[in-house]
A and B are shown apart, each in its own frame.
Chain A
Amino acid sequence: ELKVEQNPLFLSMQEGKNYTIYCNYSTTSDRLYWYRQDPGKSLESLFVLLSNGAVKQEGRLMASLDTKARLSTLHITAAVHDLSATYFCAVPNTGNQFYFGTGTSLTVIP
């Protein structure tokens, strides 16, 4: 079974600082997704990474994918309070079943 691990699980950071969330997965996949979830809400799609070396940026968030290392990163630049949420990475297997990480709970402190 495909395993997806995220770290850190909890992240408390000051406004204006930079940080990176890591997502490792156990078997080959050429696609990876990042989602955001606010408390009590559903999942919002952030990025779809479709190939090795893919890099996507939206605002203060940038995601990258290294399929050889089975690693994706979500980099946060100059954090603001609005980024406080839980972030999930998800990897599909060959049967197109999506496996999610346990999530990273991000709190941005003023």
Chain B
Amino acid sequence: ETGVTQSPTHLIKTRGQQVTLRCSSQSGHNTVSWYQQALGQGPQFIFQYYREEENGRGNFPPRFSGLQFPNYSSELNVNALELDDSALYLCASSHGTGRSTDTQYFGPGTRLTVL
């Protein structure tokens, strides 16, 4: 059984650019959640996908968008990057029913730096 994987590990972009981060969920998991963790802070919920549909969204602007694919892998897209978008982006997968989920298992994260 493979765990949650994310790519790339590190990424450097400049303001105004667009970025796509990828996540492969753990085998058997149908729910993916994305979090942003700024340095020295706790993770902040961005959104969650359950069976290819968005299933909840945190307080993030529309330039943060996502997708979930039939194999339950997921993408996080961020447009018009700002300096404050620099953070560790964590993907977590779980096996859920769409209304409640079990423990979320986190991937290693993607460190995004915006210059």
A binding-site residues for B, Cβ under 8 Å:
1, 4, 33, 35, 41-45, 48, 88, 90, 92, 95-103
Given contacts A43-B90, A96-B48, contact A102 B105 (CB under 8 A): no
Interface size class of B (residues with CB under 8 A): 20 to 34
Partner-binding segment picked from B14-22, B70-78, B96-104: B96-104
Q: Are A96 and B103 in touch, CB under 8 angstroms? A: no
User: Using Cβ atoms and an 8 Å threshold, which residues of chain A touch B55?
Assistant: 96
- Which positions 87-111 of chain B face chain A at CB distance < 8 Å? 90, 92, 96, 99-109
User: Using Cβ atoms and an 8 Å threshold, which residues of chain A touch B59?
Assistant: 1
Interface hub of B33, B45, B100 (most chain A Cβ within 10 A): B45
- Which positions 19-72 of chain B face chain A at CB distance < 8 Å? 33, 35, 41-45, 48, 55-59
Given contacts A88-B42, A96-B48, A102-B41, contact A45 B56 (CB under 8 A): no
